[in-house]
Amino acid sequence: MPPQAESRQGNSVPEAEVAAMFDAIAPVYDRLNTVMTAGGDGRWRRAAADTAGLEPGGAAVDVACGTGKLSVTLAERVGPFGRIVGIDLAPAMVAAAGAAHGDLVQLSFQVGNALALPFPDAGFDAATIAFGLRNLADFEAGLRELARVVRPGGRVVCLELSMPPQRGWGRLFRSSFGRLAPLVAGAFGHGRAYRYLPSSLDGFPDATSLAATMRAAGLAEVGFRRLALGAVALHTGRVPESGAPLG
Ligand SMILES: C[S@@+](CC[C@H](N)C(=O)[O-])C[C@H]1O[C@@H](n2cnc3c(N)ncnc32)[C@H](O)[C@@H]1O
């Protein structure tokens, strides 16, 4: 399938608004996710953790970590001698993550921006971002920043909603998602905030275009697989060894 002709390069909603919206939904975020994905989200995050290719004792940063669901899965993979840092723009999300998973020595959470990670170059074996890239003001810059903090040979993994490639199912998915997300969220008292969720998918690069964006961000061996009939895509790329040609 050829890359999408017109896709957005970034999210136009100001960062302060994005953070306030996620702060507001932090208390119900996990329950809403489970309801809206019929429990599939756990499976997708485990697939993302597998893709990161971490060994016991390894180190990774989980960017836009939210309530820390992927971070904790990564922490289980690296074990007590590893190091996982979850970082998120919304303080209430970071507080919820710490409250839920504060008992693992190898896992910590902090507030920070994906577009300016407070870490030196090449300090991690992997960087992950799950359902977070769509929220960034510049997708390529976000991926470049994830790649910057990963050592040569390490992986950047992106799990994200995607537009299914089959036209009919794609349209059906888009319109049902646009109606259902605010409705389900409304039942939890957060309908307004959850109107942002489907709108943030409008113009987001399809899986093929996102792979091209990852290459443009300097990643090699870029690949992806579709999950949930294409409604979710799991992308990975490798930080090239210095001087190695991009593949
Ligand atoms: C849909 S949630 C995903 C959370 C989590 N990764 C998961 O899998 O459930 C998106 C998260 O991205 C965070 N976020 C949005 N913009 C960000 C930015 N510029 N830097 C860091 N985090 C950001 C939000 O605060 C929110 O917690």
222 in a structural domain: yes
The H or E element that residue 72 is part of is: helix 69-78
Model confidence at 35, pLDDT cuts 50, 70, 90, reads confident
137 in a structural domain: yes
With a 6 Å cutoff on the Cβ, whether 122 touches ligand 1 is: no
With a 6 Å cutoff on the Cβ, whether 11 touches ligand 1 is: no
Distance CA 198, CA 200 (A): 5
Percentage of the chain with pLDDT > 90? 66
Query: Any alpha helices (H) in 79-165, and if so which ranges?
Result: 91-101, 139-148
| Ligand 1 atom at minimal distance to the Cα of residue 68 | 5
242 in a structural domain: no
Domain extent at residue 178? 15-152+162-227
193 in a structural domain: yes
> By alpha-carbon position, which residue is closest to atom 17 of ligand 1?
89
CATH of the domain at 135: 3.40.50.150
On the question of pLDDT at 176 being above 70, the answer is no
With a 6 Å cutoff on the Cβ, whether 69 touches ligand 1 is: yes
pTM equals: 0.91
pLDDT number for residue 194: 64
Model confidence at 226, pLDDT cuts 50, 70, 90, reads very high
Dihedral of CA 146/152/157/158: which sign? Answer: positive
pLDDT number for residue 38: 75
Q: Using only the alpha carbons of the chain, give its radius of gyration.
A: 17
- Tally the domains of the chain: 1
Q: Which residues pair with 111 in a beta bridge?
A: 88
8 in a structural domain: no
3 in a structural domain: no
pLDDT mean across residues, the chain = 88
DSSP code of residue 121 = T
pLDDT number for residue 98: 97
Between 31 and 59, the more confident residue is: 59
* 197 neighbors 222 (Cβ within 8 angstroms): no
pLDDT number for residue 175: 64
With a 6 Å cutoff on the Cβ, whether 26 touches ligand 1 is: no
With a 6 Å cutoff on the Cβ, whether 22 touches ligand 1 is: yes
What is the whole-number distance in angstroms between the Cα of residue 127 and the centre of ligand 1? Answer: 14
On the question of pLDDT at 174 being above 50, the answer is yes
Closest to 235 (Cα-Cα) out of 144, 130, 153, 110: 130
Lowest-confidence pick of 1-10, 138-147, 160-169, 213-222: 1-10
Backbone angles phi, psi at 161, to 5 degrees: -60, 155
Mean pLDDT of 49-68: 98
5 in a structural domain: no
Model confidence at 169, pLDDT cuts 50, 70, 90, reads low
175 in a structural domain: yes
* 32 neighbors 185 (Cβ within 8 angstroms): yes
What is the whole-number distance in angstroms between the Cα of residue 156 and the centre of ligand 1? Answer: 16
- Token reading at 137: 């003001």
Closest to 40 (Cα-Cα) out of 236, 242, 228: 228
Mean pLDDT of 118-133: 98
For the beta sheet containing 83-88, the strands, ordered from the edge strand earlier in sequence to the opposite edge, are 107-111, 83-88, 59-63, 124-130, 150-161, 232-238, 220-227
- Token reading at 156: 């950047």
On the question of pLDDT at 90 being above 70, the answer is yes
On the question of pLDDT at 59 being above 50, the answer is yes
Between 2 and 216, the more confident residue is: 216
What is the whole-number distance in angstroms between the Cα of residue 4 and the centre of ligand 1? Answer: 25
Mean pLDDT of 159-164: 90
| Ligand 1 atom at minimal distance to the Cα of residue 64 | 22
With a 6 Å cutoff on the Cβ, whether 115 touches ligand 1 is: yes
